[in-house]
Chain A
């Protein structure tokens, strides 16, 4: 099984996104670097719009991820409600 990862610029918005990811992906681990936060998870990781919205306290469009995204790996599946990275087929 391989890891997938995603990295964001470190700022107020991504603080909420990361909190949401950690809540929804119990296997995820965080690597804090200067200016950047990287999250790894075995095989798959899902970002849920609803969770991000709860943490942020406002509406959130998953496409807003683009603004602070730095890098990622794995296959992407994106709907209005979920953004998933995985090595599954």
Chain B
């Protein structure tokens, strides 16, 4: 049966805003992502220079050594604008919430293998401070970066890291006691095996070139830490005590898989722009990679014992392969 829907049919004067039509090469209907992203940042006739950075304009491409003809080339393959982003995260948090509730309501933590629990608490809990540093770095990239296409997902990523720090905190409560968080913070501050990592994180907090920070944080540290923590250590714990920790860290492993798609897309675009960009990004990657590998090695050993070194070697190979595939030379 045909239903006759009586509405007024009127011809639009135009399909989208003129700056979007220029981007699309004609007046075509544009996605919500595109309309909410392209050219949204002001780029002309700023009134005053920042009193906190008088050498630059409010938004200034010269805050990084990377050069782009068009900063809006850094599109997000996930097409995240705020609505799409929060709805995607709300789904993930619903799953995480169900997992935490399941573990809590069935008393799975109490029955979890004691040795595995100790390893998990000692390994994961200090990582909430690493995520906190990553949150600050995400804010930096968003604040000092250029062009909404890349600054927007930098903030989303930074806020995801805050969420991760909070999920790790909750893992601490679910699996252990509030005193375990105190012990983890103490280890973070003083235990020798954590100091290289803490030094790395603190050094990242003073990096001035926001694109270098993008490489150091989103490409290098996350690129090595997440597979170590949420694949290798998680697998080891699963063998030892079942999937409890996997359930409590599912957000992180799903998030890393998703976020990496965006990070790789940025690497491709940035390195593909010029040979100079490629050289610089590769150099940054190597510099921070060598430090990150050194910082993570004692932690891999702490959690994985004798396997630690070979896992780190494997992770480094995989990391290099990923970077080279994305257009770097590392």
A–B direct contact (CB < 8 Å): no
